[in-house]
A and B are shown apart, each in its own frame.
Chain A
Amino acid sequence: MNRDWLKKNTFHCSAFGDLKRLVELKSQKELTISLCLPTLNEEKTIGKELVILKSELMTRYPLLDEIVVVDSGSTDDTRSIARAFGADVYKADDILPHLEPYKGKGENLWKALYITKGDIIVYLDADIKNIHHRFVYGLVGPLLIYDHIKYVKAFYDRPIAIGRNKIRPTGGGRVTELVIRPLFSLFFPDLTQILQPLSGEYAGFRDVFEQIPFPIGYGIETSMILDIYHKWGLDVIAQVDLEKRIHRNQDTKALGKMAFAILKTFFSRTVNLGLINFNTPLHDTMIQYNLVKSEIQPDLLTIEGLERPPIIEIPEYRQRFKRKAS
């Protein structure tokens, strides 16, 4: 196992707090940076994220060139609030409308590649309660400073909001510790050095993102790491401590569904890489149970494990970004 990586490629966001320097580097390297926020019913947090990031990273320091919200069809005021605070807002279904529409975070991130213009894309979840501009500059910093780094992943000290007024000092990352870390330990020990592989905040070069497939749903973070690791190696990846992130807590059942999607993505990747072989195909349905009036009833959710291909394979994308077919 390459243990050097943890030392060499792990940073703290405070190392990149000199925004003037980052803006100069961006200008010297003639790069543009896009921020994408995938949303689904995030009216409580989207306004705050936009206001703070726009103020600090567009108005005061022109680090970001655009902020784009890609929405999965929110039924609350997410889109109108985002528009009111100056974001470019898209419904995912309206992007590349001739393709069959899917619902999921991965779908939004993939389609964001088509509508954003930046050489660097920053992806942030839109449910961060304690948003601070370090969430962006911390991720962008290593990409601007170190030429060999192409993809940066966040990790946190993660308190979780429970109830309306209480904050628990530790916790979170249950799927990471119970699902991903054991799998990485079994198959890809190098990747265990990525402390929070499921964190929803990461940034990377368009050149990287456009060449990897995007699972539609929860598997996106896992697949991204596996694909980048497989294609370019561990050294192009870095991780940054963004300190605290306060977000919604999810119940165990929801995490179960998440774990199902992640396991499916993981196994499909390991099969493709020839690491394991299954004699029977994997099922598509997550089966959980509810107790309804003394009766145990199954609760079925089909997760097909759909993926979008590398976007560079889409002709409209190649035309728009003047890319050649690979």
Chain B
Amino acid sequence: MEELLNRMPEFENKIKSLMETIITNIVLLGQIPAPTFKEKSRVSAFLERLAEFRVDECTTDGYRNPIGIIRGTNPNRPPIFVVAHMDTPFGHDVDHNFTIKENAIYGAGLLDNSVGVGVLASLPAIFRHLGLEFESDIVLAGVIQSIGKGNLRGIRHLLKTWSTPIRGAVCIEGGELGRLNYYSDGMIRGEIKCSINRSGRRQRFQPNAILVLNEVINQILELRLPLKPRSKIIIGKIFGGLKHGQIAHEATLGFEIHSDSDEMVKSLYNEINDIVNGLGHEYEVRLELKTISNVRASRLRFNHPLVKSTIAIMRKLGLKPISEPSESELSIFLSRKIPAVTLGVSYGESYQQKSSVIKIEPMFRGIAQIIGVIAAIDSGVCDE
């Protein structure tokens, strides 16, 4: 491990010399719109890039997740997975053309997660440039249908159907450099939809869908959340109505329940379900609660060798690890008892906005840490 740590600054410098190739991959792949469920074009381009970089096997799994496999030197070692989700929050109507200036790249979907995808596609060239060979096969997986209503379907399917054990995994996210995620909260992402049937009621006595949801929010806010197990409800999204002067007939509320206890997540979900049923009955409106996504709470210990090694690598590169729960591909690896961490590539701004920005210079440190962690897993830190 000490030898690996000593090589980290050298990795960073050498990766810098591949700047054009890495940025090119980010741009060529990131400029292809890939809203969740419509990632096909980006998937094809990703596979083409892997093939161009002479990856040993390029294919898709049964769910059309694109996968590249770099064969390792020891067939007895289980593979190491490196994953980045292919989908971004923006549709085809959004301009995906990026701008590159001296120190930064600008464009929609960069941080979440075009940079991650571009870096994933660059890894074969980077490994070759650094002269790295691994004992394990390296499985480069761009997973589809990850965010929002995708509900991590891509990674769930990939791991469910993968027939052999997996040694460990690194999940790549565009931002933020310094993040080290090694645990996931239990989470349910839900949507409450209020619809009001217009027929049979006089306009002036109609309930207002927005006001009904407002009452739902008030009652959710009255719920008592324990400090232990740590729990929270995030009201993240609301939309409804058509015109300023017309009662809203439809409105939708998006929320997430997080807790480090799966039981608490379920209990809070049931309480919200009771609120929804009660208010639907009282207001005589159609009030529906739907689950969009859920993950179970799972974690590595702080003293797990993968976490310890990752922290050492980050510190060697001058990074201060910041750890928060992450409900993402990481959750699915951890729930299957596969040691995994999520790392960020660089610093940026406007994370999930059309105008997101990522800084170029720190990116090389971000990639160096990813390479370091892959090398650490290959050296056996997950083989306990």
> With the chains together, A24 CA to B343 CA distance in Å?
41
Establish whether residues A43 and B101, one from each chain, have CB atoms under 8 Å apart when the complex forms.
Answer: yes
> In angstroms, how far is the closest chain B Cβ from the Cβ of A255?
22
Residues in B with CB closer than 8 Å to A55 are: 20-21, 23-24
> With the chains together, A60 CA to B122 CA distance in Å?
12
Q: Which of A47, A132, A165 has the most CB of B within 10 A?
A: A47
Q: Which of B93, B94, B101 has the most CB of A within 10 A?
A: B101
Establish whether residues A246 and B354, one from each chain, have CB atoms under 8 Å apart when the complex forms.
Answer: no
Q: Does B28 contact A (CB under 8 A)?
A: yes
Establish whether residues B95 and A161, one from each chain, have CB atoms under 8 Å apart when the complex forms.
Answer: yes
> In angstroms, how far is the closest chain B Cβ from the Cβ of A66?
15
Query: Which residue from A48, A85, A166 sits with its C-beta under 8 Å from B27?
Result: A48
Establish whether residues A130 and B97, one from each chain, have CB atoms under 8 Å apart when the complex forms.
Answer: yes
Establish whether residues A51 and B23, one from each chain, have CB atoms under 8 Å apart when the complex forms.
Answer: yes
> With the chains together, A30 CA to B267 CA distance in Å?
75
> In angstroms, how far is the closest chain A Cβ from the Cβ of B134?
23
- How many A-B residue pairs have C-beta atoms within 8 angstroms? Tell me: 57
Residue of B nearest to A52 (CB): B24
Establish whether residues A59 and B95, one from each chain, have CB atoms under 8 Å apart when the complex forms.
Answer: no
Q: Which of A52, A54, A161 has the most CB of B within 10 A?
A: A52
Establish whether residues A129 and B97, one from each chain, have CB atoms under 8 Å apart when the complex forms.
Answer: yes
Query: Which residue from A59, A77, A129 sits with its C-beta under 8 Å from B102?
Result: A77
Residues in A with CB closer than 8 Å to B98 are: 48
A54-B20 contact in complex given A48-B27, A130-B31, A165-B354, C-beta closer than 8 Å: yes
> In angstroms, how far is the closest chain A Cβ from the Cβ of B333?
32
Establish whether residues A165 and B93, one from each chain, have CB atoms under 8 Å apart when the complex forms.
Answer: yes
Query: Which residue from B27, B31, B93, B354 sits with its C-beta under 8 Å from A51?
Result: B27
> With the chains together, A80 CA to B98 CA distance in Å?
18
> In angstroms, how far is the closest chain B Cβ from the Cβ of A202?
23
> With the chains together, A51 CA to B25 CA distance in Å?
10
Query: Which residue from B23, B97, B101 sits with its C-beta under 8 Å from A81?
Result: B101
Q: Does A269 contact B (CB under 8 A)?
A: no
Q: Does B130 contact A (CB under 8 A)?
A: no
Query: Which residue from B20, B94, B99, B102 sits with its C-beta under 8 Å from A45?
Result: B99
Residues in A with CB closer than 8 Å to B101 are: 43, 47, 77, 81
> With the chains together, A81 CA to B18 CA distance in Å?
18
> In angstroms, how far is the closest chain B Cβ from the Cβ of A3?
36
> In angstroms, how far is the closest chain B Cβ from the Cβ of A177?
26
A52-B102 contact in complex given A165-B93, A165-B94, C-beta closer than 8 Å: no
> In angstroms, how far is the closest chain A Cβ from the Cβ of B332?
33
Residues in B with CB closer than 8 Å to A85 are: 20, 100
A47-B20 contact in complex given A52-B27, A167-B95, C-beta closer than 8 Å: no
Residues in A with CB closer than 8 Å to B95 are: 161, 164-167
> In angstroms, how far is the closest chain B Cβ from the Cβ of A319?
35
> With the chains together, A156 CA to B82 CA distance in Å?
38
> With the chains together, A60 CA to B129 CA distance in Å?
12
Q: Does A84 contact B (CB under 8 A)?
A: yes
> With the chains together, A164 CA to B108 CA distance in Å?
12
> With the chains together, A108 CA to B36 CA distance in Å?
45
> With the chains together, A86 CA to B20 CA distance in Å?
10
Residue of A nearest to B125 (CB): A60
> In angstroms, how far is the closest chain B Cβ from the Cβ of A112?
22
> With the chains together, A182 CA to B77 CA distance in Å?
69
Query: Which residue from A48, A54, A84 sits with its C-beta under 8 Å from B99?
Result: A48
5 A-B interface contacts by CB (under 8 A)? A51-B24, A55-B21, A59-B18, A60-B21, A77-B102
Given contacts A55-B20, A161-B95, A165-B95, 13 further A-B contacts (CB under 8 A): A43-B101, A44-B99, A47-B102, A48-B99, A48-B100, A54-B20, A55-B24, A59-B18, A59-B21, A81-B100, A132-B28, A164-B95, A167-B95
The chain A residues found within 8 Å of chain B, CB to CB, are 43-45, 47-48, 51-52, 54-56, 59-60, 77, 80-81, 84-86, 129-130, 132, 161, 164-167, 246
The chain B residues found within 8 Å of chain A, CB to CB, are 18-21, 23-24, 27-28, 31, 93-95, 97-102, 354
